[in-house]
Chain A
Amino acid sequence: MRKAQSFFLFISAWYLLSFLNVLPYPHTTAITFATLLVEGDPVLGKTIIEHSISSILRVVTGSGIAFLISIPLGILMWYERVYSLFYPILEVLRPIPPLAWIPLSYILFASFPNPTVFAQIFIVFVGAFFPSFVTISDYARNTPSEYIELAEVFGGDEMKILRRVVIPYSIPGIITGIRVGLGVGWMSIIAAEMIATSGSGIGYFIMVMYEVGGRMPEIISGMAMIGIIGYGMNAILLKLEERFPWHSKSRT
């Protein structure tokens, strides 16, 4: 019921802004959106689905690589030695937003076969790595001392504790990390696509629509698509997280 009210409020506000000539009408936009789903726009010739797939592929690749590193590294942060070695470096790198890496990454990857794509994947990597790493390492480091004590009482060594206690305990953290990482990665790719051209991708689509002009419904459709995909990714992983009985809800 609340949801319906919220939707109604949103649409009314939109219609109001349309009457004031600020935005195109919701129904016009909806028609444009529906058309873009099946038919490419005349400028770029690709459907919004194709653009989404390009963006998603880049996000999944970039964040996939990020997770391949952030998951083991985050877990290893449980070892005090590893933590004290890596944490200071990562703490300095972490506040640098993914967008700030854009110019550097375009230079770094200039000599690669497909520099724009590599640079964009790298930006997603940076975007996805830090939030997932922080979440996972936070989880691993907060493995309850009771469980470690339990393992010790039965004679478990560090390796066994890591494998049988820290890793399984951190699985919900890993999923949260993936969820948060994908979210930031998704925002990063849109920004990266807007800054450098890539031939496809939702961010690129929106930017070209803006440059050519007269395409506010297309621009809003692109934004809606970003929202839908971002929401979908988040919702799926959130569902997965809830399946773990020891998942503490206070973490984000």
Chain B
Amino acid sequence: MKMASGKKIDKTIYFRGISILLLAALLIAASLSGCTTKNTVNLVKLSPPDMLEQIKLGKIDAFVAWEPFPSKAVESGFKVFMTSKDIWPNHPCCVVAYKIGKADDKTLRALVWAHVKATRFIKNPENRDKIIEYASEFTGLDKRTVSIALQNIKYVEYPDEKEFRHYYEFLKESKILKKSVEELGYESEDSFFNDFLRKDIYQEVIKKLDENPNYVPEKASSIKLGYITGDLHHLALYVALKEGYLNQVFDKVELKQFPNGVAIMEAFRLGELDAAYLGGAPATLKRINDGIEIRIVAGVNNEGSAIIVMGDVSKPEDLAGKTVAIPGFGTVQDFLMRKVLAEGGLTVK
């Protein structure tokens, strides 16, 4: 006969059962009671469309996002707390980048030319009505919203290098960068930026244009070009397409849409793209952290983001104890929000 090893099975079962249930009940209570403290801000990551939904429902108190989302929020009755221009004048935003080895100088010259032409078209006040129409078509928003949004975006041909460095310093300080530029094989930060922000093509193109406004570079064969769906910042791409600039200098243009800059960087890594319009943030982050070899050849826009708040916020201090949303960690918008919070003496929980 075997000796008893589990004589008290009955009791054990019931005891375990009861304790599991008790634990569950306890944890429901615990997990639902999120507590907030003074002088800290609850920072959450949300996609911009979600930000709009959640601020309408009162789940978040503020958010920072790029146009047209702030303008859409304004349409719904929220107010702009600060535009990105107020927080950080001339801050970099979107850029045109290419994968090293996937585009030769001829291709780049053609691309930069089309981009510069389109940007100049946007900035020409005579084209205002046409631009609003293009913007509306591109983003699927009504003309009133896009015309407000367009006012907040500063379309540029090349980013401000000093401000780009400033953003890089932020990434370095907040330890979001995992690697140093030395690890990537550069002697110094200066030499990295000289390589990363490639200005010679741009300079060559505008010099030619200055000499002869009708200059058209030699036609390149084809290009695979990525951009973010409906991002008003990337309007120049749409204009370049609609006004025929791209077709003038390329035999074939293959466009690919992406949901965000991270996805574009992954496509670069896989060699699916030659060049793309994307945020300077994912470009820099993934260039350094993941070593995806790209260079920036042109700027797309500066500024163009804004912080939107619920009614009762009028100064940074008012954000204490609130929940604010950013579109991603290490983004320019993240930096903008942290600058504002620091001004109000607030820390992120």
Contacts and interface: CB of A to CB of B under 8 A. Distances in A.
The answer on direct contact between A and B (beta carbons under 8 Å) is yes
Interface of A: 42-45, 54, 57-58, 60-61, 63-65, 67-68, 110-111, 113-115, 117, 121, 171, 174, 178, 196-197, 199, 208, 210-215, 240, 243-244
13 contacts: A42-B175, A57-B27, A57-B30, A57-B31, A64-B24, A196-B50, A199-B42, A212-B330, A213-B178, A213-B282, A213-B290, A214-B179, A243-B6
A70 to B, nearest CB: 13
B176 A42 contact: yes
B285 A61 contact: no
Nearest to B284: A213
B31 A61 contact: yes
Contacts of B132: none
Given A57-B31, A64-B25, A214 B178 contact: yes
A50 B13 CA distance: 30
Interface in B12-33: 12-13, 16-17, 20-21, 23-25, 27-28, 30-32
B289 interface: yes
A110 B53 contact: yes
B25 A212 contact: no
Contact of B9 (A113, A115, A212, A244): A244
Contacts of B199: none
A115 B57 contact: yes
Given A58-B31, A199-B45, 6 more contacts: A44-B329, A117-B32, A197-B44, A213-B286, A214-B285, A215-B178
A61 B20 CA distance: 11
Interface string B176-205: 111100000000000000000000000000
B106 interface: no
B262 interface: yes
A34 to B, nearest CB: 17
Interface of B: 6, 9, 12-13, 16-17, 20-21, 23-25, 27-28, 30-32, 34, 42, 44-46, 50, 53-54, 57, 59, 174-179, 262, 265, 282, 285-286, 288-291, 328-330, 348
Contact of B57 (A54, A111, A210, A212): A111
B56 to A, nearest CB: 9
B31 A212 contact: no
A110 B46 CA distance: 14
B32 A240 contact: no
A220 B17 CA distance: 35
Contact of A110 (B28, B57, B289, B290): B57
B289 A214 contact: yes
B24 A60 contact: yes
B20 A214 contact: no
Nearest to B9: A243
Q: Which 6 A-B pairs have the closest CB atoms?
A: A214-B289, A64-B24, A42-B175, A214-B178, A213-B289, A57-B31
A240 to B, nearest CB: 7
B21 A64 contact: yes
A213 B328 CA distance: 12
A208 B177 CA distance: 13
Nearest to A58: B31
Contacts of B282: 213
A196 B325 CA distance: 13
B329 A117 contact: no
Contacts of A63: 24
Contacts of A43: 174-176, 329-330
Contacts of B42: 199
Nearest to B287: A213
A64 B273 CA distance: 47
A115 B59 contact: yes
A214 B6 contact: no
A61 B28 contact: yes
Nearest to A172: B13
Contacts of B6: 243
A115 B44 CA distance: 13
A113 B60 CA distance: 11
Contacts of A211: 262, 328-330
B282 to A, nearest CB: 8
Q: Which of A67, A197, A210 has the most CB of B within 10 A?
A: A197
B62 to A, nearest CB: 15
Contact of B24 (A68, A111, A115): A68
Contacts of B23: 60, 64
A153 to B, nearest CB: 23
A176 to B, nearest CB: 13
Contacts of B30: 57
A212 to B, nearest CB: 5
B177 to A, nearest CB: 8
A208 B45 contact: yes
Contacts of A243: 6, 9, 12
A136 B31 CA distance: 27
A65 B286 CA distance: 41
B44 A212 contact: no
Given A111-B57, A115-B59, A211-B329, A42 B285 contact: no
B76 to A, nearest CB: 15
